[in-house]
Amino acid sequence: MPHSLRSVIPRARRARAALLASAASVCLIAAGVPSPPEPLGIGDRLFPTLGNPGYDVRSYDLSFVYPGSNSKPLAAVTSIRALVTEPLKRINLDFAHGTVQSVDVNGAPATFTSAGEDLVITPNTPLPKGSALRITVRHTSDPVAEKGRDGGWVRTEDGLVMANQADAAHLVFPCNDHPSDKAMFTFHVTTPEGYTAVANGVPVRTERAGGETTWTYRTEHPMATELAQVSIGRTVVLHRRGPHGLPIRDVVPAEDQALLEPWLEKTADQIAWMEKKVGPYPFETYGMLIARAQTGFELETQTLSLFEKELFTASSYPKWYVESIALHELSHQWFGDSVSPRTWSDLWLNEGHATWYEALYAEETAHHSMEQRMKAAYALSDRWRALGGPPAEPKEPEAGQKISLFRPNVYDGAALVLYALRQEIGTAAFEHLERAWVAVHRDRTATTADFERLASTVAGRDLSAFFQGWLHGQKTPPMPGHPDWASGPAEAPAGARQVG
Ligand SMILES: [Zn+2]
């Protein structure tokens, strides 16, 4: 899927590396000594060393053994099946937090070393283009975060969950950690007595032996690494049915089941509401994972969205608001998960749409006016663009704070773009576009340019000037139909909660 990106970037990187090394490396080349291992990336503007060139992962098979303590590393085995897309003497994986014990490539032991946040593997023989690649890494997976580095495993009061967006899956397991390389996933999680493990996808089997249980789950659709989820905890799994018999399974702390039930029972109706807006739910199952942890965000992990328990128990959040946040994460299953961003600059496609449906749901079910919300967003939009960049060209995250990419310019600032688009092309064409978008790109990755093209096709006219201003401009264009709306310097609303 990501060939166009990969075929361009690695060449550019090689050229740059060659340039930097040109003076010093002459004697090394003369002596036939290979260049030292270096961290590679696929050229994402916002995360230059995420992902790796030269292969396309088809599947991950991940095994974790939880020791019953959140302060000890999990023993882990990561097996990757991939297709080699250009001749490789070395294989770079992203992996930055854990100890690697051994690496096998196509069944034979391989040497390995670390370079930056990459695990650099040298197989016995170079790998030709088009060949199948099987990598097995035995390693630890450490739930204790490095200082100043968020994401990966999140330690809860009763176990662990994952929050890998945007660049933290490789703190948990070796991978090609970029959403442009989606793959199938199988998880095997071994826990001591009293714990339950749940992962993305559907259960395959549960094996009990010697006081331990191994839980196996498998996805039925490709998934980006940032959307992987493994919950280990003293939890219960609650089963119910959604539209067309869709299996819904929620994972909640056993003690909180009764408290959370009123929120959980709304999911089926919310799925039906989304299906009416954009079409069939894209995956094999859905559910809410509610964790006893202080995350400060929710996260749309595929088929099993992560929520912080406090969202449902803090008295400061009104009921309509909590429901709209649940809807926000649900809508990401279409926008962000099934159709995932090709690069992180396409993040507005995730968050703009999720915010759009969050606001639309609040309007239709709780009478919170979309127009008023968008008028307020319009007033702040210039400020958001100055702070975070235009919606489709976000500024880089601050150093050491990768999550700071998630600024208002890609949430309400991007929902505002969709509002402007609906004003511009009319409600019927806009709704047609939304349904077409998730149908055409289902289970794939897509770019901002893809969205612009499809919108022009559906509208029957060239919208590139419209999108140039709304998605790429430093200033917010006039709102179609609302010439009186003004954007200018203003204070951001206080107490706004971050939504994943
Ligand atoms: Zn979101």
| pLDDT at residue 500, rounded to an integer | 62
The HSE-up count of residue 283 (CA atoms within 13 Å, CB side) is 34
In the chain, the percentage of residues whose pLDDT exceeds 90 is: 87
Q: For residues 418-435, give the mean pLDDT.
A: 98
Position 468, amino acid: Q
| pLDDT at residue 138, rounded to an integer | 98
| pLDDT at residue 23, rounded to an integer | 36
| pLDDT at residue 393, rounded to an integer | 98
| pLDDT at residue 395, rounded to an integer | 96
Residue 462 Cα to ligand 1 midpoint, Å, equals: 29
| 58-94 per-position pLDDT tens digit | 999 999 999 999 999 999 999 999 999 999 999 999 9
Q: Are 63 and 188 in contact (CB under 8 A)?
A: yes
| 99-151 per-position pLDDT tens digit | 999 999 999 999 999 999 999 999 999 999 999 999 999 999 999 988 778 88
Residue 27 Cα to ligand 1 midpoint, Å, equals: 51
Residue 340 Cα to ligand 1 midpoint, Å, equals: 12
Instruction: Tell me: pLDDT of 12 over 70.
Output: no
In the chain, the percentage of residues whose pLDDT exceeds 70 is: 90
Residue 335 Cα to ligand 1 midpoint, Å, equals: 9
Residue 373 Cα to ligand 1 midpoint, Å, equals: 17
Find the range with the poorest average confidence among 11-15, 341-345, 430-434.
Answer: 11-15
163 versus 32: the higher-pLDDT residue is 163
Q: For residues 164-172, give the mean pLDDT.
A: 96
Find the range with the poorest average confidence among 28-42, 202-216, 280-294, 460-474.
Answer: 28-42
Q: For residues 175-198, give the mean pLDDT.
A: 98
Residue 370 Cα to ligand 1 midpoint, Å, equals: 18
Residue 165 Cα to ligand 1 midpoint, Å, equals: 11
Question: Which residues lie below 8 Å from residue 453, measured CB to CB, with a gap of 6+?
Answer: none
Residue with tokens 């089941």: 257
| pLDDT at residue 10, rounded to an integer | 34
Instruction: Tell me: pLDDT of 26 over 80.
Output: no
Residue with tokens 């429901």: 323
Residue 192 Cα to ligand 1 midpoint, Å, equals: 34
Q: For residues 315-326, give the mean pLDDT.
A: 96
Reported confidence tier of residue 414, pLDDT bands at 50, 70, 90: very high
Residue 298 Cα to ligand 1 midpoint, Å, equals: 8
Residue 329 Cα to ligand 1 midpoint, Å, equals: 6
Residue 360 Cα to ligand 1 midpoint, Å, equals: 15
Residue 355 Cα to ligand 1 midpoint, Å, equals: 7
Reported confidence tier of residue 33, pLDDT bands at 50, 70, 90: low
36 versus 21: the higher-pLDDT residue is 36
Residue 191 Cα to ligand 1 midpoint, Å, equals: 31
CA distance 121 to 37: 9
| pLDDT at residue 491, rounded to an integer | 53
Residue 363 Cα to ligand 1 midpoint, Å, equals: 18
Residue 311 Cα to ligand 1 midpoint, Å, equals: 15
- Six-digit token pair at 431? 């709704």
- Six-digit token pair at 16? 């740059």
| pLDDT at residue 404, rounded to an integer | 82
Q: For residues 364-372, give the mean pLDDT.
A: 98
CA distance 225 to 302: 10
Three state DSSP letters for the chain: CCHHHHHHHHHHHHHHHHHHHHHHHHHHHHCCCCCCCCCCCCCCCCCCCCCCCCEEEEEEEEEEECCCCCCCCEEEEEEEEEEECCCECCEEEECCCCCEEEEEECCEECEEEEECCEEEEECCCCECCCCEEEEEEEEEECCCCCCCCCCEEEEECCEEEEECCCCCHHHCCCECCCCCCCEEEEEEEEEECCCEEEECCEEEEEEEECCEEEEEEECCCCECHHHCCEEEECEEEEEEECHHHCEEEEEEEHHHHHHHHHHHCCHHHHHHHHHHHHCCCCCCCECEEEECCCCCCCECCCCCEEEECHHHHCCCCCHHHHHHHHHHHHHHCCECCCEEECCHHHHHHHHHHHHHHHHHHHHHHHCCCHHHHHHHHHHHHHHHHHHHCCCCCCCCCECCEHHHHCCHHHCHHHHHHHHHHHHHHCHHHHHHHHHHHHHHCCCEEECHHHHHHHHHHHHCCCCHHHHHHHHHCCCCCCECCECCCCCCCCCCCCCCCCCC
| pLDDT at residue 11, rounded to an integer | 34
Residue 295 Cα to ligand 1 midpoint, Å, equals: 14
Residue 435 Cα to ligand 1 midpoint, Å, equals: 19
Residue 455 Cα to ligand 1 midpoint, Å, equals: 22
Residue 37 Cα to ligand 1 midpoint, Å, equals: 36
Residue 358 Cα to ligand 1 midpoint, Å, equals: 9
Position 319, amino acid: K
CA distance 274 to 280: 8
Structure-derived torsion over alpha carbons of residues 381, 384, 390, 391, reported in degrees to the nearest 10: -80
Q: For residues 194-208, give the mean pLDDT.
A: 98
Reported confidence tier of residue 499, pLDDT bands at 50, 70, 90: low
Residue 328 Cα to ligand 1 midpoint, Å, equals: 6
C-alpha pair distances (Å), 56 with each of 129, 178, 234, 276, 473: 11, 11, 36, 35, 34
Residue 460 Cα to ligand 1 midpoint, Å, equals: 30
CA distance 152 to 171: 5
The predicted model scores a pTM of: 0.91
| 260-288 per-position pLDDT tens digit | 999 999 999 999 999 999 999 999 999 99
Mean pLDDT estimate for the chain: 92
| pLDDT at residue 85, rounded to an integer | 98
Residue 352 Cα to ligand 1 midpoint, Å, equals: 8
Instruction: Tell me: pLDDT of 332 over 50.
Output: yes
| pLDDT at residue 402, rounded to an integer | 66
Residue 500 Cα to ligand 1 midpoint, Å, equals: 4
321 versus 8: the higher-pLDDT residue is 321
Q: For residues 386-394, give the mean pLDDT.
A: 97
Residue 406 Cα to ligand 1 midpoint, Å, equals: 9
Residue 164 Cα to ligand 1 midpoint, Å, equals: 13
| 226-256 per-position pLDDT tens digit | 999 999 999 999 999 999 999 999 999 999 9
Residue 327 Cα to ligand 1 midpoint, Å, equals: 10
Position 449, amino acid: A
